[in-house]
Amino acid sequence: MKRRSAVKAMALTSFSTPFMLSQGFTGIRQLFSTPTPVFQSNWENWPDIHWIGPEYWGNRLQDWEIQDGKAACVISAPNRTLHILTHQLRDGKEDFEQSVLVYWRNESLKGNPNAYVGFRSGAKGKFIDYRSAAVFGQGIDLGINGLGQLVIGDKSTEAKVDLNRPVYLSMQAKWTGNSYTLALSASNDTGFSSPVQLQTEGIKMEDLSGNLALVAHTSKDDQSDEALVTFSDWKFQGEKNRHRPTADFWTHRLRTIHREPKYSQTHCSTRSSGESTGT
């Protein structure tokens, strides 16, 4: 039923022309006219709705909603991801960075190191196509676990952030001669004073091409109907970001409205467990 509501919301919003035009067609704002544009999510200008917006693909569709101007993962379960359809990480050695504001919501998963939220970068699917990546995408996960530790793959910090407060999370990817270095930072303060930091090196160029997504994950044993996290103020920039023409994702959304995909259950990889998305 929730999936049906999400598809109906997609259809209604797709043809709400005045609203779409007032918010900008893609719902993403270009903040600066520079050679390296900066983009920012626009959820704060949307009403509460059982859908996540036209420029995103949520896995599963019914598990992502706009609530109080934020993107909410309304379930705690394995491999819930939110892909941006208008941008990808291109092949090449350019740098990029992204940031997001995180609100941990599931109280029962605080203290659980197997639950985590954050970024999925360089997601790729079974085929070389952003839509395949959005449904089946495997990538590099970076974020915060239920202990408040920063995590990149199997690496984690001893220092922690406070999950009872909003967490400002950012990452940078820099080419360092023959590989990428990833730097993850988190703080409970808007000015990023005394951040917790984690870095990993030796990331291959091909591992950082593909989709950008937000991720919310817990193990199947710990899954529940309780919302895990909400995100706001998602920004990304850098020459490695490739913008997709609006027509690409808009056509994809209209196809989805008129014919639901056969793969309503998605199967995205996690940072270590390899579990697929369940029901």
Condensed to tens digits (0 to 9), the pLDDT of residues 79-113 reads 999 999 888 888 999 999 999 999 999 999 999 99
Q: Is the pLDDT of residue 14 over 80?
A: no
CA dist 239 and 166 (Å) reads: 29
Which residue carries 């952003």 as its tokens? 130
How much is the pLDDT for 136?
Answer: 81
pLDDT in tens, 153-190: 999 999 999 999 999 999 999 999 899 999 999 999 98
**Residues 143, 117: contact at Cβ < 8 Å?**
yes
Mean pLDDT (whole number) for 101-126: 95
**Residues sharing a CB contact under 8 Å with residue 123, sequence separation 6 or more, in sequence order:** 81, 83, 133, 134, 137, 138, 139, 210, 211, 212, 213, 268
Mean pLDDT (whole number) for 33-54: 79
Query: pLDDT class for 12, splitting at 50, 70, 90?
Result: very low
Mean pLDDT (whole number) for 195-223: 95
Which residue carries 């030796």 as its tokens? 202
Query: pLDDT class for 20, splitting at 50, 70, 90?
Result: very low
Query: The dihedral of CA 210, 267, 26, 255: what is its sign?
Result: positive
Q: Above pLDDT 90, what percent of the chain?
A: 57
Q: Is the pLDDT of residue 39 over 80?
A: no
Q: Is the pLDDT of residue 6 over 90?
A: no
How much is the pLDDT for 252?
Answer: 56
Query: pLDDT class for 263, splitting at 50, 70, 90?
Result: very low
Q: Is the pLDDT of residue 200 over 90?
A: yes
Supply 119's token pair.
Answer: 């970024």
Query: The dihedral of CA 231, 236, 240, 246: what is its sign?
Result: positive
How much is the pLDDT for 129?
Answer: 78
Q: Is the pLDDT of residue 254 over 80?
A: no
How much is the pLDDT for 257?
Answer: 52
Query: pLDDT class for 270, splitting at 50, 70, 90?
Result: very low
How much is the pLDDT for 253?
Answer: 55
Q: Is the pLDDT of residue 4 over 70?
A: no
Kindly list the distances between the CA atom of residue 78 and the CA atoms of 150, 152, 194, 274, in Å, as whole numbers in the listed order.
19, 17, 31, 10
